[in-house]
Amino acid sequence: MTLSGKTAVITGSNSGIGLGIVHELAKAGVNVVLNSFTNSEEDHALAIEIAKEYGVKAKYVSADMSKGNDCRRLIADAGVCDILINNAGIQHISPIQDFPVDKWDAIIAINLSSVFHTTAAALPLMRVAGWGRVINIASAHGLRASPFKAAYVSAKHGVIGMTKVVGLETAKEAITANAICPGYVLTKLVEGQIPATAKEYGISEEEAINTVILAKQPSKEFVTVEQLAGIVTFLCSDSAAQITGTSINADGGWTSQ
């Protein structure tokens, strides 16, 4: 089975891991729908560049993954959704007693509820096509906790639970649902945590990287976007047809501890 000609919707894909997945899938001939909520000229230009570089169809759809209706409209605008990559996500670091309620609400909406809405909208399209892949970018924080990340850890644990449910509900069909649980990847999301982590622990930013952030990652190396994109391609392949309702960890040994 070739992936060429299939269509993938990748939420939160104008940067970081999502954009890496866009490149990898487009390289395999998959038509891609890029998304963010920013709707900038650069976002639209990015889709044009991807189409030109890989000779696939690519379009950018602006939709705010914190809003259920937008999540469902994204899938409706795509029209076809053989591969759904739930990747959009944000982070906020704060002790629980000071955790801003608006940040809690936003993280639960973007990192967890969006997965419910897009999946609910995409499964009927996959059933019409007779094939589908749901791939949720969860996190090692879907399996382990860290202090000061109440909303993120709760949302990512929720994503793993939802992945299991979707895997069971589609088990008799040619549709699979899995999560990928990365350890730390040096994207904007992590770069943004370095100053906050340094502040919470009262240490320098360099110490925050070495003694707090990579402390849990025994390999002492960041996971790369390309490695994660490769796991996505594998999960889309025939070899992964019986892998469903589970998660693949790419965390340099973090969750073995």
* Residues known to be catalytic: 152
- Residue 36 CA neighbour count, 13 Å, CB half: 18
Q: Among residues 64 and 82, whose Cβ is nearest to ligand NAD?
A: 64
- The nearest distance, CB 189 to ligand NAD, in angstroms, is 3
d(C-alpha 38, C-alpha 13), whole Å: 11
Residue with tokens 């860290």: 146
Which residue among 7, 13, 170, 244 contacts ligand NAD (CB under 6 A)?
13
CA angle 63–171–178, rounded 5-degree value: 45
Which residue among 37, 116, 131, 201 contacts ligand NAD (CB under 6 A)?
37
Which residue among 7, 8, 9, 14 contacts ligand NAD (CB under 6 A)?
14
User: Per CB under 6 A, which region of 53-61, 86-94, 119-127, 169-177 contacts ligand NAD?
Assistant: 86-94
Q: Give the bridge partners for 84, in sequence order.
A: 9, 134
User: Per CB under 6 A, which region of 120-128, 164-172, 187-195, 233-241 contacts ligand NAD?
Assistant: 187-195
Which residue among 182, 217, 245, 248 contacts ligand NAD (CB under 6 A)?
182
Number of other CB atoms surrounding residue 190 within 10 Å: 16
Residue with tokens 């939709």: 63
Tokens representing 26 are: 């487009």
Q: Among residues 91 and 176, whose Cβ is nearest to ligand NAD?
A: 91
CA angle 251–255–257, rounded 5-degree value: 125
Residues that bind ligand NAD (CB under 6 A): 12-18, 35-37, 64-66, 87-90, 110-111, 137, 139, 182, 184-185, 187-190
